[in-house]
Amino acid sequence: MNDCSFIAKRGRLTYIVRTMKAAMKKRTAPKEERQQQLIQATIRSVARNGLSDTTMATVASEAGLSQGIINLHFQSKERLLVETLSYIADEYRTAWEQALSSAGDEPADKLAALVSVDFKKPVCHPNKLAVWFAFWGETKSRPTYRRICAMRDMAYRKEMVQVCHELIVQGGYQDVDAETVTACLSAMTSGCWLDLLTNPRSMSRLQAKRICMSYLVTTFPRHFAERSDK
């Protein structure tokens, strides 16, 4: 009986100790966790300082870790940056794939979902936008960056063309071209992102979405006319 109480107490103690340790910041962490932590710190640093003022030191300090840690986990600064870009590209892809799969079967709903996800939080966080543009800015001189960006783009567009095509067939929009709509829409998206980045005062995520939706309204009037919501 007292054994039980002891165990109970012991369990409680263990719990407390574990909590304390966690609070003291684990000195050692699973490899992948540390890498994630550093990628997140990189995103914050790029957003805060810009890519050209992001140094090993700013990232490490943003992560609350020591100088050498990045080379320990990523070998070089360049690899950290590539990994960071890859991370947000993956995140982006995952986001619209999920949005798509939970949008139902109606092509119009799918299209709306695709546009929607571009202006929702995880993907459209100011920091993420800053990172995208930071890398786009170096794209011309860094084939590696370009490749990653291009891949993200291609997958996204391919899907959107598909969805547009379905919608065109279904809705009988004979004189609308799926490729063109996709080009317009994805250009508008990144254009709006630029606005969100440079004029955060006069542009909000909601407004940005409305702008893109307005395009859908004019293009597919019978499917988007009344829905100004969401």
Partner DNA sequence: AATGAATGAGGGTTCATTCAT
Partner DNA sequence: CATGAATGAACCCTCATTCAT
What residues line the site for DNA (CB under 7 A)? 21, 25-31, 34, 53-57, 65-73, 75-78
- Cα–Cα distance, 220 to 214 (Å, whole number): 10
- Residues near a second copy (CB under 8 A) are 47-53, 126, 129-130, 133-142, 146, 149-150, 153, 177, 180, 183-184, 186-192, 194-195, 197-199, 211, 214-215, 218-219
Residue 168 site contact among DNA, a second copy, none (CB < 5 to 8 Å, cut-off depends on kind):
none
Q: Which is nearer to a second copy, 8 or 187 (CB)?
A: 187
Residue 77 site contact among a second copy, DNA, none (CB < 5 to 8 Å, cut-off depends on kind):
DNA
Residue 102 site contact among a second copy, DNA, none (CB < 5 to 8 Å, cut-off depends on kind):
none
Taking the complex as a whole, how short is the minimal distance between the CB of residue 26 and DNA, in angstroms? 6
* CA proximity to 87, closest of 115, 128, 116: 128
For 202, phi and psi rounded to 5 degrees?
-100, 15
Taking the complex as a whole, how short is the minimal distance between the CB of residue 20 and DNA, in angstroms? 11
Q: Which is nearer to a second copy, 101 or 198 (CB)?
A: 198
Alpha-carbon separation of residue 128 from 26, 45, 134, 207, 209 (angstroms): 27, 11, 10, 18, 17
For 117, phi and psi rounded to 5 degrees?
-65, -25
Q: Which is nearer to DNA, 48 or 120 (CB)?
A: 48
Alpha-carbon separation of residue 62 from 1, 40, 58, 95, 204 (angstroms): 50, 9, 6, 26, 27
* CA proximity to 216, closest of 82, 85, 88, 115: 115
Q: Which is nearer to DNA, 54 or 189 (CB)?
A: 54
Taking the complex as a whole, how short is the minimal distance between the CB of residue 201 and a second copy, in angstroms? 9
* CA proximity to 129, closest of 76, 195, 184, 175: 195
The crossing angle, in degrees rounded to 10, of helices 178-198 and 143-171 is 130
Residues in the chain: 230
Taking the complex as a whole, how short is the minimal distance between the CB of residue 45 and DNA, in angstroms? 10
Q: Which is nearer to DNA, 75 or 228 (CB)?
A: 75
Q: Which is nearer to DNA, 29 or 187 (CB)?
A: 29
Residue 190 site contact among DNA, a second copy, none (CB < 5 to 8 Å, cut-off depends on kind):
a second copy
